Amino acid sequence: MHSLRIVVADDEPDMREYFQRMLPRLGHRVIAAVADGQELIEQCRGLQPDLVMTDIQMPGLDGIAAAAQVYRERPVPVILVSAHHDAAVVECAEADHVLGYLVKPIKQSDLGPIIAVAMRRFAQMQALQDALARVRQLQGLLPICTYCKKIRDDRNYWQQVETYITDHSAARFSHSICPDCYDHVVKPELEADLKAAPCPHPAPDAGDRG
């Protein structure tokens, strides 16, 4: 996994120091360490991190509400940290952007796996959302040329129908010939080729007859 730019939030100075010490050992960079939810939102707005790790219970805006606001402004994976394994809190944290949950005290051996899982789930979620967006695009009104049947994409380029659909969906094409096209196009062309072809066994000349 490549190095991540991480923002951490915890109202305990010891925990902020812990993250700043441990995360670089895993190859990541702590680009901000804040003490409350509002500051978390502001730092994420400016720094645009790859990952957010936030305590839940903090002064003012709690970690769950702050992370939700961060995600609304820009999708980013979130790992929640709590002093208690509270089922009610876990249920509240079950949102699209919350992709990991750690209970204090946190060991260094806990950090690597939870970060890897969170980033993998986030990548899968983003890929799914991109696929759904493409499906929704195919459900809309598509400009198509009356004559050549090319489709105009959102960049104002004209593409063959199969090229456009391949680029915007998981569909793939195999080419064949429908019965109408065979009768009206292929068959006449074959018959014309046969008529134009030289006879493989020409009739003998009269002078060749015995």
CB 51, CB 6: distance < 8 Å: yes
Mean pLDDT of 92-111: 81
**pLDDT value of residue 112:** 93
Mean pLDDT of 45-70: 93
**pLDDT value of residue 182:** 75
Looking up tokens 């890929």, which residue turns up? 127
Residues contacting 166, CB < 8 A, separation 6+: 172, 173
**pLDDT value of residue 136:** 64
Is the pLDDT at 60 greater than 80? The verdict is yes
Is the pLDDT at 169 greater than 60? The verdict is yes
The DSSP line for the chain is ----EEEEE-S-HHHHHHHHHHHHHTT-EEEEEESSHHHHHHHHHHH--SEEEEESS-SSS-HHHHHHHHHHHS---EEEEESS--HHHHHHT-STTEEEEEESSPPHHHHHHHHHHHHHHHHHHHHHHHHHHHHHHHHS---B-TTT--EE-TTS-EE-HHHHHHHHSS--------HHHIIIIIHHHHHHHHHHSPPSSPPPPGGG--
The residue extents of the domains of the chain are: 5-133, 141-198
Q: What percent of the chain has pLDDT over 90?
A: 40
With cut-offs at 50, 70 and 90, classify the pLDDT of residue 38: very high
Is the pLDDT at 206 greater than 60? The verdict is no
Asked if CATH classification 3.90.1580.10 holds for the domain at 5-133, the reply, yes or no, is: no
CB 56, CB 82: distance < 8 Å: yes
Q: Which of 72-76, 115-119, 161-165 has the lowest mean pLDDT?
A: 161-165
Question: Which residues share a beta bridge with 81?
Answer: 55, 102
CB 131, CB 154: distance < 8 Å: no
Looking up tokens 């959102």, which residue turns up? 154
The DSSP line for 63-109 is HHHHHHHHHHHS---EEEEESS--HHHHHHT-STTEEEEEESSPPHH
Is the pLDDT at 172 greater than 60? The verdict is yes
Is the pLDDT at 131 greater than 80? The verdict is no
